[in-house]
Amino acid sequence: MGVVKSDKTCGMYEVKIDSAVMPNFIKVWLLHGYSMHEVKPMPVDKYRGVSLQRELVDKIEEYVKNHPETGYNSLADFVTDSVRKRCEDLKILIPTPELPTLEHFNINEDHVTVIDRARKIFADVYFRNSRVLCEACSSENCEHVEYALGLPKIQRVLSKKGWVIEEGKIIRKPY
């Protein structure tokens, strides 16, 4: 068992490394005051390190420390985010598109189904007997109804049945 001393910003730590347990697993024990904490090592095949100029690292660490509102908790967070953004700019990585909260799923004879990702539901909006009803909300005027009425395909189908819809609002219902 070897002993390495480290003086991180949070104080002096004595680190004991026991590599005799298994070749691919290293147990690291931090003796901090009178308590011991086991620290699991990062998976060897999942991460790689890079070297950065000390001056740059010092500036980034100072920025992260002085600007907690940015959401960066460490140098690693900042560098990972910066590299990811640059890779997206260069088209090395393609960002995952943000899916819309509401999406038209299908249309049936008397209703349209809307996917609501925020509520994680399928909302059926019915158009029958000159009435509109969102089954999910039990409402005639909710975001699902407004969304459905704003879809050109739905507007065309309803206009053939005598409905008049302008700018996603019902102007006249069939008699």
> At 89, which amino acid appears?
D
Q: What is the pLDDT of residues 36-66, one digit of tens each?
A: 445 455 566 778 888 999 999 999 999 999 9
Q: What is the pLDDT of residues 4-44, one digit of tens each?
A: 444 443 444 444 444 444 333 333 333 333 344 454 555 66
> At 135, which amino acid appears?
E
Count other C-beta atoms under 10 Å from residue 13's C-beta: 15
Residues in the chain: 175
What's the CA gap between 28 and 13, in Å, rounded? Answer: 12
Selection from 41, 13, 46 nearest residue 27 by Cα: 41
pTM of the model: 0.48
